[in-house]
Amino acid sequence: MKKIFLTLLVLFPLLLSAQTVDWQRVAGQEEDAMRKVYDKSSVSASWLKGSTFLMYEQYGRFHLVDARSGRQEPLIKDQQRFVEQYQKLTNDSTMKADKLRLYGLTLKNNDSRRFYWTRAKKRMVFDRATQQLELDNSKDVTAGKSVKDFSSGSSVCTKDSLYTMLGDKYNLHVRNNKTGEIRQLTFDGKEGASYCFSSAKDTIREGNASGNWRGHVYIHLMNDDSKVGNLYIVDVLHGDRPKLKTKHMPLPNEKNVRQYKLYWYNADTGEGKVLPIDKFKDQEVKLNFEDTGDYMYFTRRNRSVDTLELCKLYLPTGQVSVVIQEVCKPHLNINLFGYRLINHGKEIIWWSERTGRGNYYLYDNNGRLKNRITRGDNLVAGRIEYIDVKRRRLIFIGYGDKQAYDPEYAYYYVADFNGKRQQVLTYGNGTHELQFSRDHKFAIDSYSRMDMPTVYNVVSIDNPAKHFEFARRTDKDLKAAGWKAPVLVDVPAADEKTRLYGVMYLPTNLDKTKKYPIISFVYPGPQDDQIPRSFTLDDVGNQSLAEMGFVVINVQPRGSSPLRGRDFYCFGYGNLRDYPVADDKHTIETLASRYPFIDLSRVGICGHSGGGFMAVTAMLTYPDFYKVGFSASGNHDNNQYIQWWGETYHGLGKRGSIPTNMELADNLRGKLMLVTGDVDDNVPPTSTLRMADALIKKGKRFEFMVLPGKDHGVWSPYYQNLIRYYFMENLIKPNSRDVNILKHE
């Protein structure tokens, strides 16, 4: 009886804690629950082929919009009658009036009075004036002009079928189809350094070779991983016996990393060789298979990721020359860098961060700079969406527009090649996405924010100031179901100068007279900050977590994103552990000064992958500030993580030069949960296990969960509730306990 009484005393705080959470309310804020409500106002918009018209469906009704004027009208006045006619023509009874499935509609000569539609193997035409649906016996209006094929050619035969490339398991053999003679070309292929596909069988046959013909020239870029070290993963759930999985995984500053060989063979001359393309030690090489006549382009990048060259290979002779060299310290923005060959390689559009912010530049094919294309002191040019070679202009995504609340909202721009004209195509404070008409003269612009459902405009590319809103989604039903929009956050970084942006989630029944624990959901980048910008319900479970009685924030730190220019992006270079945590702590303190309901005595931090390593770093750097941490799949020792990550974002140096969380293990004072999937081959379990070992050696108490069968994507209902319970039991009603279980203190 005494033992039972003691057990109840121990469990009482946890039982009390669980009773403070209304799990039904929590479930009501989950994405699956809210999605059903939000989808009532969903909009499905698409272009009608061969026209300046678009159609969209909302609340079960279809509408037709003229992109030139913004004028809209019902696509079908009587949908019930339309379905009845359709059923008679096709004998298909699955179509319903309130759930029409219309897609692939076409207009003829931009005439909106009739649309053409193929379904159930029937081609039909609908007269919108008479509301008559009939079988269409006219010429197929969907037939279009053939498009010239500029593909790189076959991996097996030349286009004239004179030569066929064969392969055994590792090496190349060429067959002269006129004489039938087969000749072996390479002799150095081996496991991990093959001229053939990994699936190739040990017999000479077609389909084994993995290169490409360009005319009578064959090109193969070999990835030589023969000396790269292995990663070993044991799949314990595989049948009766665990299965060992092996993959190549080079580590930062290791001697043996991937090497590249560019093999060239000219069937007309019979000459074949590995080309002397090595410029940088341990360089990375990427081929461009676009058809540029007698030339093929490729890039090579040095191992320290601060120098990149665009080269061209003269196919008839195998001669290689440098066209453009790009040097950017401390490292290139590998997430945004790109180039495009235009006019079959006569000109080159090249992305560069030479001004501190990304822009596109125009070069000729000899590497002579013609001019800068994109403009804007605060604008970062992103992905090119469309290139109009005839009108010599491009459409690209840009970040930092003056309309935007958040500089990482995506906007679209059109810019002339000569750099003299650039114009924004999208209007409205939110992040945008364009869906172009087939001729790229118009676009559907859908934009939103975390606190604003999607708005739909139609935009003219030639006259972007002439844009029309034709639909928008509503949050009316969401609000009726108890949803509240999250709060957009704008705070200074720890330097009190740089602005940081993110989202704050609050309980829908927030009582501002009470105090709430705060949880920071973190991800430090640098390749992406994982802050939601477009309208998203319960992003990664943050809103439903807040509903338990927490304030949950997701705010970027400096160094987290490539979209704000080189200084922001490279903030953490050389310090691939500590760089994000001061900003996170400062953000929490700033928000607590603004919102008195935030309780600074109960601060939690949670993250996955890079966010997992950041959560532990924060717990160990500010042990009196962060009380509870949840870390999943964290790369706690980046010396043992993938090569490109550590070397790009920290820099090349001696083995073990990157600081690790293990070095701070003695600082732990709060409550920490470590989680890993046991078959994670992205951030291997090794990292979390060694973090656990470091804590054990310091006598630190912590929780550890291994999720069997889970790779890097650990998300599941069990995982989500593991997070919820851990913070509930340790932040809502925290109990004190010894942290060091060896010293009992």
Selection from 128, 117, 47 nearest residue 86 by Cα: 117
Tell me how far CA of residue 227 lies from CA of 252, 255, 317, 645, in angstroms.
15, 9, 31, 20
Helices (H) and strands (E) counted in the chain, each on its own, are 12, 42
Give the pLDDT score at 149: 37
List, for residues 254-313, the tens digit of each pLDDT value: 999 999 999 999 999 999 999 999 999 999 999 999 999 999 999 999 999 999 999 999
Radius of gyration of the chain (CA): 30
Give alpha helix (H) positions in 595-684: 610-621, 643-649
Tell me how far CA of residue 408 lies from CA of 440, 447, 556, in angstroms.
25, 13, 11
Is the separation of the CB atoms in 224 and 259 below 8 Å? yes
Cα(129)–Cα(148) distance, integer angstroms: 39
3-state helix, strand, coil in the chain (%, to 5): 20, 35, 45
Q: Which residue has the tokens 């290169």?
A: 211
Give the pLDDT score at 44: 95
DSSP for 91-131, written as a single string: -----BTTB----S-EEETTEEEEEEEEETTEEEEEETTTT
Give the pLDDT score at 183: 97
Instruction: Give the up-direction half-sphere exposure of residue 738: CA atoms within 13 A in the CB hemisphere.
Output: 8
DSSP for 190-220, written as a single string: BTTB-SB-TT--SS-EET-B--EEETTEEEE
Give ∠ CA 719-722-725 in degrees, rounded to 5: 155
Question: Would you call 184 helix, strand, or coil by DSSP?
Answer: strand
Phi, psi of 135 (to 5 degrees): -70, 145
Which stretches of the chain drop beneath a pLDDT of 50? 1-19, 141-152
Give the pLDDT score at 433: 98
Question: Would you call 374 helix, strand, or coil by DSSP?
Answer: coil
Give the pLDDT score at 734: 83
Phi, psi of 440 (to 5 degrees): 60, 30
Give the pLDDT score at 153: 54
Secondary structure, 3-state, 725-740:
HHHHHHHHCCCCCCCE
> Omega into 276 within 30° of 0, i.e. cis?
no
Selection from 16, 103, 15 nearest residue 54 by Cα: 103
Give the pLDDT score at 399: 98
